[in-house]
Chain A
């Protein structure tokens, strides 16, 4: 029975790491701008679709990956420049609708540019499952874990050790003050979208061998990524990773021990339950309202 448990855990970790990568993108943009970007899933889709279609057309894999990352970043920058920045002072809900509009737009574009088929990428390190204590794990899952782990380390370094990263954090805490000490707030916002789109593309590329991709793949990933980011506490990278893993593992354990039909419902129940007791998520900033 332990083997079964371990298998559920692996299943949950695989899904969870995917959600975590998606959630991390939400966290980065939120950190710099307090914007929730509901088009985050589309960055992931663009990364996956661009790579898969280019590889299928004969482009060498590394070139395809680099181009896909560049394409996604370009889309992220354009989104910030033309849709978010002009509306920077608008209501939270207004910006939510803008990003949802952007996600619909990007999906529509992807469907025209590419097609509606599912696309696959070959696994990076083959398809031989790794057996561990009676359970198995695909090598590609390790790639996802690795990328998620690497992303969190790099982001930590970036936000805590580089001047630009610190500037980004400062902007999120107090935009006016940041401006006063000479931080280019516009540049920071632009960079946050570029960074998050880049991360999304990387995520899309590493998960495509597991989940495949099509023009609508961003919907589910966006939704789960948002859940992960909120559960972990908005704006907290580690939180997003932990949140993603919890959602993934909860789903897998629910499938295994309770009911696979209700696994998503159970995951959402857990999120609700956590929020009832920790209204700012697991690692979110708690604080008393200043009046």
Chain B
């Protein structure tokens, strides 16, 4: 199995699925769910660089997502920024923030890092909830359409294609990065920090780098999400959303870009499917999470790949 063909092949299949899926969509609600799934997938592809490849957990990424969303909301509605400018500036600010907090907290390991990132996410959530004068508080705030060069992205169908292109682009970037000197250094950090250090990898720098990159992914998607939904509440930055994002990555498959993507799609669709059995939704969701992780501890995609490889005679 050649890594180069898996890469271009995977991208081609992804693009095809995105292009063909609408044939089965009977109305814009399907597009809406599709957009949400792809937005989550982009965040997860970014988060997977941190969790799956570099082996650092974050229970606070919804905070960065929310900062992107609110950055866009505040900059466009209060300060009259063009949406693309607001998106870029928010992403830059989130990147800087991630850089500033990343240095001290990424020295922490395992559960301590989980705690620190969780704390940061919760602090962001509290600020968004409390500073109601600029954020609208728990009741949320409204945004306009995403306009660029005199052209407005509106409606679920148009957003679907925008999200599709963004997803393919993100996957392309992530695959590029993983299979580069920078990406190998990141994976080496996961494998053995000291082993990486002695051959010249500045592990703390790379940890901060990937933290910033994944935060920027989340922020950009947050901005797009805000414009697409037209209304945001601080809940998008809650601890639960952070956990949801991590669950998507782990369920789909850590250290597998397509795995994280699949995890995001499944966990976005699942509540829509389970809405029919509303009373049992929580129990079923919990059971699926437990079952998947018990029987496929490496996540859906990597476990399936392993099974098929064994069947295929060790190929």
Q: Which residues of A contact B (CB under 8 A)?
A: 36, 83, 86-87, 89-98, 100-109, 111-112, 223, 226-227, 230-231, 234, 261-262, 264-265, 268-269, 271-272, 275-276, 279-281, 289, 291
Contacts and interface: CB of A to CB of B under 8 A. Distances in A.
Contact of A87 (B243, B282, B293): B293
Given A268-B119, A268-B122, A90 B293 contact: yes
Contacts of B297: 87, 89-91, 94
Contacts of B126: 261-262, 264-265
Contacts of B243: 100
A279 B107 contact: yes
A223 B173 CA distance: 35
B281 A108 contact: yes
A6 B109 CA distance: 37
B280 interface: yes
Interface stretch (B158-166, B200-208, B247-255): B247-255
Nearest to A267: B119
Contacts of B286: 101-108
A270 to B, nearest CB: 9
A262 B131 CA distance: 10
B109 A279 contact: yes
Interface stretch (B22-30, B69-77, B78-86, B110-118): B110-118
Interface of B: 51, 57, 104-105, 107-112, 114-116, 118-120, 122-123, 126-127, 130, 194, 239, 243, 246-247, 250-251, 254, 279-290, 293-295, 297-298
A104 B293 CA distance: 14
> Is the contact region of chain B dominated by helix, strand, or loop, or is it mixed?
helix
A268 B105 CA distance: 13
A223 B59 CA distance: 12
A28 B157 CA distance: 52
A262 B289 contact: no
Contact of A108 (B111, B130, B280, B294): B280
Contact of A272 (B120, B194, B279, B287): B120
Contacts of B114: 36, 96
Contacts of B239: 223
A93 B51 contact: yes
B112 A98 contact: no
A269 B124 CA distance: 11
Contact of A94 (B108, B123, B250, B279): B250
Nearest to B119: A268
A97 B293 contact: yes
B280 A112 contact: yes
B283 A105 contact: yes
B111 to A, nearest CB: 5
B298 to A, nearest CB: 8
A100 B289 contact: yes
B247 A97 contact: yes
Given A94-B293, A98-B290, A226 B283 contact: no
A233 to B, nearest CB: 9
Contacts of A100: 243, 247, 289
Which of A89, A92, A96, A264 neighbours the largest number of chain B CB atoms within 10 Å of its CB? A96
Contacts of A93: 51, 57, 246, 250, 254
Contacts of B298: 94
26 contacts: A36-B114, A83-B294, A90-B293, A92-B111, A93-B51, A93-B254, A94-B298, A96-B57, A97-B293, A98-B289, A98-B294, A100-B289, A101-B285, A101-B289, A101-B290, A105-B282, A105-B286, A106-B286, A108-B285, A227-B115, A227-B119, A230-B112, A264-B126, A269-B119, A275-B105, A276-B107
Contact of A226 (B115, B280, B295): B115
B72 to A, nearest CB: 23
Nearest to B239: A223
Contacts of B51: 93
Contacts of A112: 279-280, 283
Contacts of B115: 226-227, 230-231, 271, 275
A203 to B, nearest CB: 20
Given A92-B110, A100-B243, A104-B285, A268 B280 contact: no
